Structures are given as C-alpha cells and as structure tokens.
Structure 1
Amino acid sequence: MCSTNFRKTPSASASPLQTREPATAHTSIARQPPNFYAMATPAARTNCKVILAGTIAKGLLAEVADGLSKLAEKPKLVGFLANEDPAAHMYADWSAKTCRENGFDFDLRVVSKADIEESILSANNDPTIHGIIVYYPIYPATSRQDSYIQQLVSLSKDVEGLTHRYVFNMYQNIRFLDPPKNEQKSILPCTPLAVVKVLEYLQIYNSILPYGNRLFGKTITVINRSEVVGRPLAALLANDGAKVYSVDLDGVQMFTRGQGITKYHHEVHPQDPSFKLENCLPLSDVVISGVPGKTYKVDTNLIRDGAVCINFSSDKNFDSDAVKQKASIYVPAIGKVTIAVLLRNLLRLVQNQKASAVVAADQEVAGQREG
C-alpha cells in the first residue's frame, strides 16, 4: 500500500503481530542529509536523534517538483474510496492535500462496493487520468476480492505498484518494464519504498558498495509480514544485501541475498519455531515496526544500543521515552514520506506513458514503411 492500516488483532490478549492488509491507495534523494551513518552503527549509548518524516520528504518532493516542471500538463490522480475505514479516509485526505500542494490534480471518487469494478475499468480507459489509487481494505481480510480489485487497475496507471507485473518485478529484483532499453521504470509499493527512502536518507545504505548491495552486512528486523507492506519491504531490503528477520504471528522468516552479494534476488529461510522476536532484536542494526493496535509496543530492553528504530504503523509501536534511551536514531512516523513516494510514482507513470507512446509511434511508422 501506500498506507499503514492492517488486520486488527481481535483482542488485547491476542498476539499483537497479527496483521491485515494496509488501507492503500511506495534515485537517490537530491538533498544531501546530515551524516547519521556513524550513529546508526551499534555502539555505546548515544544521544538519540529524532528524525521527522517531513524533513526526509523534502528531498523527494524537490525531485518531484523538478520532474513536474518538465511536463506540459498537470498529472491527474484519481482515488477510489469504497469503505468506511478511518485509516483509508485519512490516507485519502493526505493524498488530496499533498497532490494539490505540489501541483498535481486529484479527484477523490467515493463509490459503493458494487460499483468499484466498473469505476476502475472506466478510469483505465480515460486518457485524462494518469494514475489510479484504491484505498483498501474494501472487503474482509478473509476474502480474496481485494486482490482481484488490485489486478483490475491498468499497469500504466497503477500508482501503488500492486498489479501482478509490478509485484513480480519487485520480488525478482527487476527494475525496468522494458529491458534491455530500460526506459520505463517499474513501480514499487509506496510504504515499503518509503521505508527504503528513509534508510537512504539516514545513510544506512552504504554508497561505497555497488548499487544493489548497499545494505550488505546490515541486519534488520521488520515486525509485520502483510502482503502489501511487510513482506515486500523485507524483500526489497534483502535484495539490497541485508539480512532481514521478518516477524509476524506465524513466526520468523529470514530474507537474504543467498550466496553473499552474487545472487540477484532474495531467498526466504523459515526459522526454527523457537527463534522469536526477542532473539531478533538484539542482533539488529535496524528495527522497523508496523503493528496495528495501541497496546502493542516493541520491548526496548531487547533493542541493541545504537540501533535505528522506525515506526510505520499508524499507532505508536515504540515507547517514545524508552526508545530514545537505546536508539541512535528514531523515526516515529513515515506518512509524509509515503505520500511523497506516491507523487514520485505518479510522475514515473506519466514518464512511462510518454515513453510507451513514443515506442508505439515508432512501431506504427515502421509498419507503414514495411507495408
């Protein structure tokens, strides 16, 4: 998704790691941030730096503004809202506000469940619409209907990166739609990509290493394995070289690049059932949490001194005072980064659409010549 709403735990006594799919609609940042890399390395206790999402988003928005200035018309994003989920409504409001503040057109269409399918298909065929975002969940978590709805959105307008082609490319670490030309970039889900951009800003990515291996040597725990956020995030981080412990109700899985830095995409290794979150945290350079529910808190006593802690849940997964005593860097929320990534994805869709139009025109001319 591009948001952070999950399957709620049924009660406070149930496991806090149970998740549902987010309420969705995820280049380096031009602005050079302060050097936080040294502070991100586990060490003795240090003064914790609290980094706000708005600060991180500025560089992405500057990149978007530069790309937007090169276009002849405003890109238009259409959002479809077919539920009463508070997080979905909040995300829709954020989308509208950020689009308009940054020079994009936004049209929110509130529709019924019965009309969502036809509404999406109609938007797919509307040449004035450049991107489509659907705010999930629409149907219960036990239903597969939301997955079906995700596949209805045209590949050329899928700003969330949830259609099958984009999902396949993400897991296989394929970064373009048109190899070997590599003119049309694949779209990644907003929230997972937003976390990556946060880590880039904090210089957890090591720019000395080759592109695609810049997290090599890092151990990261991701507390959430939903299909729209947690699992894709673990894959993205492992594809960039990290060892990732992916934690959810069903246990711990380890995502790695396989054989050192030579394998092109990640592998998944189920862990022994006795290996739990409390075993992952002391090993982790970075702890990333996205668990729903106000009662859940990461046990800061288990976090190693000097770790980096990032919260992407709409609820506070870290005790603010306690985490500052252990972490070197704490990012309490990433919402504004997620919205900036949404605009970045929309801009890339427009660029891809223009590239596709050029290719189609070239093919038509070539066909006329052959005829």
Structure 2
Amino acid sequence: MAKIFSGKDFADKLEQKLTRKFSSLPAELKKLTLVDILIGSDKSAQAYVNLKKAAAERVGINFKDIYRSEEESKIDLLALVKQLNQDDQVGGVMFQVPFPENLKDSQREIIDNIYFEKDVDCLTSRRLERVVRGESDFLPATVAAVVKILACGGISGPALAGKRIVVVGRSDIVGRPLAAFLKNHKAKVTVCHRQTKRLPDYTKSAEVLISATGRPNLIKENMVAKGAVVIDVGSPKGDVDLEGVKKRASFITPVPGGVGPVTVACLLENFIKLIY
C-alpha cells in the first residue's frame, strides 16, 4: 500500500519558511504586488485564484486578482499587460491558462508580452525555453512542486540519473518543461499523452509515473508497476484512480490535496525569487 503524500502539510511548512523569508526583505520590496489575471468565468479557475490569494495573504505578499470577460479583445489584453509591465509596484504577473476558446490563437502573443523580469510562472516563451535548455533553475510552479515532491519520495539530485520516468501530458505548463528538467538531470524520460497508442505498455515500465493530462481516472491500477512512484498533476480532478493505484504504488499524490497546494507555495517562492 502506497504512502499518500500530504500536499497541505508540505505546503504549510514551505509557507512558514517563505513567511520568514518575506518578512526579512527590505520594506520597498514587500510593497510589491503579485498579479493574477483570469479571463472568463470558469469556476475551477476562480477557485484556484482564490487559493493563491489566500496563500499570498498568509505569507504577507500583496496579491491582486484581475478578472476580464471572455469578450475582451486582444488589443485590450495587450494594453493591460503593458500597463502592468510599466507599473513599478507590480513585481510579478501571470495569467490563468488556457485562455477561453475565442482567445486561444492570441494566447502566446499576449503572454509573451509579459516582461521577463515579471514572469512569475515561466509562461513566456523566453523563460520556458531557458528551462527546456537547462539554462535556468527558475521553474514553472507546478514543475517545481513535482520536483520537491519527488524529493520527498527519495528521488532527487543524483538519484534521478537513470530513473525510468514516464510523463503523460506534453503541455507547455507542465509536461514539456518537466520532461526537459528530468532529462537534463540524466533521467530516462518517455513523454506520452492521453491518445498514445498502447499507453499502458509505457506506464507499466515506469519507476516514476507523472500524469498531467486533465483527463479524470486515465491511469488505472493495471497501468502501474508494483512499487512505482506516482505523481498526479491532473486538475481539477485527478488523472489517477487513487483507490486502485495506491494498492500498487509505493508513493502517490492525491487530488485534491497533493500537487496543488505545493504548486501554490512554489508560485509564492518564485515571486520572492523574482523580486529579491
């Protein structure tokens, strides 16, 4: 039976460290604001923004949530980004992604206009490519969370070398940068997606299985090797059938309460790194 990781307990401890760190910063830095922009009215996304806001308040970080209609134009969103870039009181900027369907074609252009120095979650192409090339240890918050959780499972640093790791999901937010980070640390990484043919053949070979597709219960008990470490990054519902898979895994993250709380704490850690 697997050890079930408590993201809340881990995040609580990390938040305590971040609170101490943030309180020690110069007064002018503590005035800076982290801005999160949500386009549309997706309730899961709104709930996630609220979690980030609450965590920021606990740490002492100023947090501003900005909501825009799905009908907002590309021109108006670019103007908003420009305004935030030029605001000296804004220390970090991020969007909730993906954008609504009618704005998806403009998503990359809008996000890439965020100043490199204010890109708190590696959303811009410039920051993302630095991660992919192994040129930066400033990681997307979800990737940083997975790396910290793997360390809790005894897999970090030299222990990554040679590990058979399967990443299911290839988004720019999680799958692509995470796979690149692991490869850059000498792990043997295979990247799949939810339409991969004979997906179980790949997942059953993994010592570490990380799923980030957003497809509920994609990963079943019979798709996991005995003793595997299983990280579920699915949101808002888990990719992994927890009740079944925990019988075979040695270590597993639940949804909710696994990767999510750690990601929020890692986002705040990124903000402190940006401004200090």
Structure 1 SS opposite 2:204? helix
1:15 is aligned to: none
Cα distance in structure 2, aligned partners of 1:151 and 1:140:
18
Q: What is the match of residue 330 of structure 1?
A: 252
Equivalent residue letter for 2:18: V
Match of residue 305, structure 1, among 226, 244, 263: 226
Choose 1 or 2 for highest CA Rg. 1
**d(CA) in 2 for partners of 1:153, 1:92:** 19
**Contact 2:82/2:113 (8 A) holds in 1:** yes
Instruction: Please identify, of 316-325 and 217-226, the stretch whose mean Cα deviation from structure 2 is larger.
Output: 316-325
Distance 1:165 1:153 in 2: 10
The within-5 A match list for 1:91-240 is 91-112=48-69, 113-114=72-73, 115-140=76-101, 143-175=104-136, 187-206=138-157, 209=158, 214-240=159-185
Partner of 1:222, secondary structure, is strand
> What does residue 23 of structure 2 align with?
69
**In structure 1, how many angstroms separate the alpha carbons of the residues matched to 2:19 and 2:152?**
18
Q: Which residue of 1 aligns with 2:43?
A: 86
Superposition RMSD on alpha carbons, in Å? 1.9
Q: Deviations over 1:55-114 (max 9, x none)?
A: 222443244223213212324111112212233212211111110011101111222422
> Take 1:144 and 1:57, find their aligned partners in 2: how far apart are those partners?
35
What are structure 1's unaligned runs of at least 5 residues?
Answer: 1-46, 176-185, 252-273, 352-371
**How many aligned residue pairs are there?**
265
Following TM superposition, where does structure 1 have runs of at least 4 consecutive aligned residues deviating by more than 6 angstroms? none
Q: Which amino acid aligns with 1:283?
A: S
Q: Partner amino acid for 1:243?
A: K
| Alpha-carbon offset, residue 49 of structure 1 | 1.0
Secondary structure of residue in 2 paired with 1:337: helix
Task: Give unmatched runs, 5+ long, in structure 2.
Answer: none
Q: What residue number does 2:187 align with? A: 242
Amino acid at match of 2:42: D
- Report the secondary structure of 2:267's partner residue: helix
- Deviation track 1:328-350 (CA, whole Å, cap 9, x = no partner) reads 11111311000011001100110
Q: Give aligned-pair identity as a percent.
A: 30
Code of the residue aligned with 1:281 in structure 2: it is T
Is the CA contact 1:83–1:137 (under 8 Å) kept in the aligned structure 2? no
Q: Deviations over 1:160-219 (max 9, x none)?
A: 1122321121111012xxxxxxxxxx632111221111112222115xx3xxxx410211
Q: What is the one-letter code of the residue matched to 1:107?
A: K
Counterpart for residue 50 of structure 1? 4
Give the AA of the match of 2:267. L
- Alpha-carbon distance between aligned partners in 2 of 1:58 and 1:238, rounded to the nearest angstrom: 30
The answer for the alignment partner of 2:239 in structure 1 is 317
Partner Cα separation in structure 2 for residue 293 and residue 324 of structure 1: 18
Q: Distance in 2 between matches of 1:319 and 1:162?
A: 29
Indicate whether 1:340 and 2:265 are aligned.
yes
The amino acid across from 2:57 in the alignment is R
SS at match of 1:291: coil
Using the TM superposition, name which of 97-106 and 313-322 deviates more. 313-322
The alignment's TM-score, normalised by the length of structure 2, stands at 0.89
Q: Distance in 2 between matches of 1:236 and 1:309?
A: 17
Q: What are the within-5 Å matches in structure 2 for residues 24-43 of structure 1?
A: none
Q: TM-score scaled by structure 1? A: 0.67
Q: For the Cα contact (< 8 Å) 1:88–1:135, is it kept in 2?
A: yes
Match of 2:275 in 1: 350
Compared with structure 1, are the counterparts of its residues 305 and 108 closer, same or farther at alpha carbon in structure 2 (3 Å cutoff)? same
In structure 2, C-alpha distance between the alignment counterparts of 1:301 and 1:152, rounded to whole Å: 44
One-letter amino acid matched to 1:49: K
1:142 positional shift: 8.7
8 Å contact from structure 1 (residues 306, 327) kept in 2: yes
Contact 2:228-2:249 at 8 Å conserved across structures: yes
> Residue 79 of structure 2 aligns to which amino acid in structure 1?
E
